[in-house]
């Protein structure tokens, strides 16, 4: 049986297996490889339709799609270009490279291995920045970059946002005790609840802690152990929620030093697959909570409205705590985040550093009946009342750090100013956040259109001001890493994680600069032979186009596991899309 995505793809595209065999082999792959197979098939078939197109719209289609060169198949032209680029890039960022080499003996850098490729290694080092301002970064060698890293998503207001800087200066002038309470703390908590609609809130030291404690609260409230998470979601680095799904559907510890005993308490299911709700229902008596990234940061085009509504109904019926992880969507999607997008109210929600102005921050918020497990609830001081609940243990020296609390209050006040409507729609609202989201959409659509015209399997998925670059056929290969380096040379700094962001400091001109950077980088890769023609025939492409003429694909373009919708708003899970695609591919190939 095949053991890799490349083997499976080779047999499918080579007409060597039938539909049932293909589905079986795909299901045995690890989640990331399974996603890669689907992305490659969809990119090969090129079933790209605008998300808002009418149901009868025909896909934009070309007879042949290019694919990126694999690291093991570099031509002499490719190698010569890489050598030239190394010289240019190192000359441009010489001080950053010197710093990376000089200080690694004592500085442990977990990021330096991200995307590491042997052929590119001489220029795969982190830039050393001298300053950051607004939408821009400046390195120690005098280079200026439009910053789309978003500081891993925590930078929503731009570098050195004046209202945050002033709040920090004021607090510094007053002192910043770690255990003392302040008026800022009380007002920040009140405003947060007013803006989000949650009943109570508490600060934590990080997003990871917020998720870890939210799960603990759910277990305390229900007396159950199991936690449901979704394949493709990310909830921080706590062993409580960090695991992976095995090829047989079992849950496995995610890496070295992580105990299988923790993973055994997790149930991993597919996000958006209605069939998997039955698995939650079957195990409901053991499940304390369902933890979901309502918009998955790794798959932002997954937006399964009906699934989320059904999930909410099921968790209410079974007494399961529903937790929204709003680290990315909290405030980025408006006052009420993904809750307003789906029109679904979770029991608890967790927030990250956006709510603290980029300072080390986490927040848990939600219904009093669950939040009360932290402090025992509300009582009077001058009567016989006492805490009504046993507490779930929570502690931390910096949970109410007065610097981050003052920055957080400034953020709440700014959100109150920016986002006037209580039910702000993240895409249509006239507020600055709505404008930012439309700017992001226009930018991503421009890049997608350019790549489509160039027949390059590069696409960008997005939600609000989050966007993620995806490359078909070899999504984590050498061409992706080359693209990131070329973007730097074209004045655009990107994130190694793959998730990028615009912030409120970016202008239309900055967005055009990002588009231009992508265009120049793609043109360079094409010019030097890093995209080659795929082996799919025009006959296969045309036949599949006719079959999919009445189907809309949600999101920007095919790059991973997505739901699709037809003339009605019915959503189809991934395995059904796989079945349709594989069946058509087999039919066309056998006829050809």
- Report the pLDDT value the prediction gives residue 55, as an integer from 0 to 100: 38
CA distance 26 to 576: 13
pLDDT in tens, 131-162: 999 999 999 999 999 999 999 889 999 999 99
pLDDT in tens, 212-262: 999 999 999 999 999 999 999 999 988 889 998 888 888 998 888 989 999
Say if 200 falls within a structural domain.
yes
- Report the pLDDT value the prediction gives residue 60, as an integer from 0 to 100: 42
CA distance 166 to 168: 5
Name the pTM for this structure: 0.81
Q: Are residues 232 and 342 in the same domain?
A: yes
Distance of CA 193 to the CA centre of its chain: 25
- Among 396, 418, 440, the domain boundary falls at 418
- Report the pLDDT value the prediction gives residue 384, as an integer from 0 to 100: 87
Q: Are residues 321 and 205 in the same domain?
A: yes
Say if 558 falls within a structural domain.
yes
Say if 175 falls within a structural domain.
no
Give the residue among 354, 338, 453 at the shortest CA–CA distance from 410: 354
Bridge partner residues of 458 (DSSP) = 471
Q: Are residues 126 and 217 in the same domain?
A: no
User: In this structure, is the dihedral angle defined by the CA atoms of residues 129, 130, 131 and 137, taken in order, positive or negative?
Assistant: negative
- Among 374, 391, 418, the domain boundary falls at 418
Say if 185 falls within a structural domain.
no
Range of the domain at 509: 71-158+429-532
Say if 470 falls within a structural domain.
yes
Q: What b/e string do you get for 323-359 counting C-beta neighbours within 10 Å, with b at 16 or more? A: bbbbbbbbbbbbbbbbbbbbebbbbbbbbbbbbbbbb
Q: Are residues 213 and 280 in the same domain?
A: yes
Q: Read off the tokens for 337.
A: 């985040």
Q: Are residues 338 and 399 in the same domain?
A: yes
CA distance 388 to 377: 6
Q: Are residues 341 and 444 in the same domain?
A: no
Q: Are residues 494 and 566 in the same domain?
A: no
Q: Are residues 51 and 89 in the same domain?
A: no
Q: Are residues 266 and 378 in the same domain?
A: yes
HEC profile for 164-212?
Answer: HHHHHHHHHHHCCCCCCCCHHHHHHHHHHHHHHCCCEEEEECCHHHHHH
In 3-state terms, what secondary structure has residue 516? helix
Q: In the block, which residue shows the tokens 């009360």?
A: 372
CA distance 465 to 254: 29
Q: Are residues 136 and 211 in the same domain?
A: no
In 3-state terms, what secondary structure has residue 156? coil
Say if 21 falls within a structural domain.
yes
Tallying the residues shown for the chain, one arrives at: 592
Say if 283 falls within a structural domain.
yes
- Among 418, 451, 481, the domain boundary falls at 418
**pLDDT < 50 regions, the chain:** 1-2, 14-15, 46-64, 537-574, 576, 584-592
Q: Are residues 29 and 94 in the same domain?
A: no
CATH of the domain at 80: 3.90.1150.10
- Report the pLDDT value the prediction gives residue 13, as an integer from 0 to 100: 56
In total, how many domains does the chain have? 3
Q: Are residues 451 and 350 in the same domain?
A: no
CATH of the domain at 345: 3.40.640.10
Give the residue among 453, 443, 446 at the shortest CA–CA distance from 523: 453
Say if 210 falls within a structural domain.
yes
């Amino acid at each position: 049986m095949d053991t890799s995505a490349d083997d499976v793809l080779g047999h499918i595209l080579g007409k060597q297996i039938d539909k049932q065999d293909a589905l079986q082999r795909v299901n045995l792959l690890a989640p990331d490889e399974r996603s890669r197979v689907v992305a490659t098939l969809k990119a090969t078939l090129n079933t790209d339709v605008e998300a808002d197109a009418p149901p009868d719209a025909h896909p934009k289609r070309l007879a042949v799609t290019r694919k990126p060169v694999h690291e093991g198949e570099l031509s002499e032209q490719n190698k010569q270009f890489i050598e030239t680029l190394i010289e240019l890039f190192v000359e441009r960022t010489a001080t950053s490279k010197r710093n990376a080499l000089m200080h690694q003996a004592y500085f442990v850098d977990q990021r330096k291995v991200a995307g590491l490729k042997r052929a590119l290694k001489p220029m795969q080092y982190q830039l050393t920045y001298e300053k950051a301002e607004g939408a821009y970064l400046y390195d120690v060698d005098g280079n200026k970059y439009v910053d789309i890293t978003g500081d891993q998503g925590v930078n929503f207001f731009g570098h050195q946002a004046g209202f945050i800087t002033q709040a920090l200066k004021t607090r510094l002038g007053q002192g910043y005790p770690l255990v003392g309470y302040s008026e800022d703390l009380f007002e920040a908590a009140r405003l947060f609840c007013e803006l989000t609609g949650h009943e109570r809130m508490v600060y934590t030291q990080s997003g990871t802690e917020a998720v870890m404690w939210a799960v603990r609260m759910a277990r305390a409230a229900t007396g159950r152990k199991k936690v449901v998470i979704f394949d493709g979601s990310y909830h921080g680095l706590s062993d409580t929620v960090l695991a992976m799904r095995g090829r047989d559907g079992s849950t496995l510890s995610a890496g070295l030093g992580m105990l299988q005993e923790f993973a055994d308490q997790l149930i991993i299911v597919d996000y958006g697959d209605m069939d998997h709700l039955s698995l939650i229902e079957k195990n409901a008596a053991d499940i304390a909570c369902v933890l979901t990234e309502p918009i998955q940061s790794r798959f932002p085009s997954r937006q399964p409205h009906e699934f989320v509504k059904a999930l909410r109904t099921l968790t209410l019926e079974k007494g399961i705590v529903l937790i929204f992880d709003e680290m990315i969507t909290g405030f980025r999607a408006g006052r009420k985040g993904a809750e307003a997008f789906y029109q679904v109210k979770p029991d608890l929600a967790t927030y990250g550093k956006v709510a603290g102005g980029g300072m080390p921050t986490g927040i848990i918020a939600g219904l009093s009946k669950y939040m009360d497990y932290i402090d025992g609830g509300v009582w009077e001081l001058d009567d016989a009342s006492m805490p009504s609940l046993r507490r779930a243990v929570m502690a931390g020296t910096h949970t109410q750090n007065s610097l981050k609390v003052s920055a957080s209050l400034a953020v709440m006040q700014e959100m109150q100013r920016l986002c006037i409507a209580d039910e702000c729609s993240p895409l249509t609202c006239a507020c600055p956040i709505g404008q930012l989201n439309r700017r992001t959409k226009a930018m991503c659509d421009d890049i997608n259109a350019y790549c489509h015209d160039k027949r390059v399997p590069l696409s960008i998925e997005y939600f609000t001001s989050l966007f993620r670059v995806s490359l078909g056929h070899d999504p984590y290969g050498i061409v992706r890493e080359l693209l990131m380096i070329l973007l730097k040379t074209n004045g655009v700094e990107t994130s190694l994680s793959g998730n990028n962001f615009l912030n409120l400091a970016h202008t239309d001109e900055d967005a055009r600069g990002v588009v231009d950077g992508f265009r120049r980088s793609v043109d360079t890769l094409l010019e030097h032979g890093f995209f080659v023609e795929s082996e799919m025939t025009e006959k296969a492409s045309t036949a599949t186009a006719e079959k999919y003429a009445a189907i809309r694909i949600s999101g920007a373009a095919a790059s991973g596991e997505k739901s699709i919708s037809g003339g009605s708003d019915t959503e189809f899970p991934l395995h059904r899309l796989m079945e349709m695609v594989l069946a058509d591919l087999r039919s066309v190939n056998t006829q050809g």
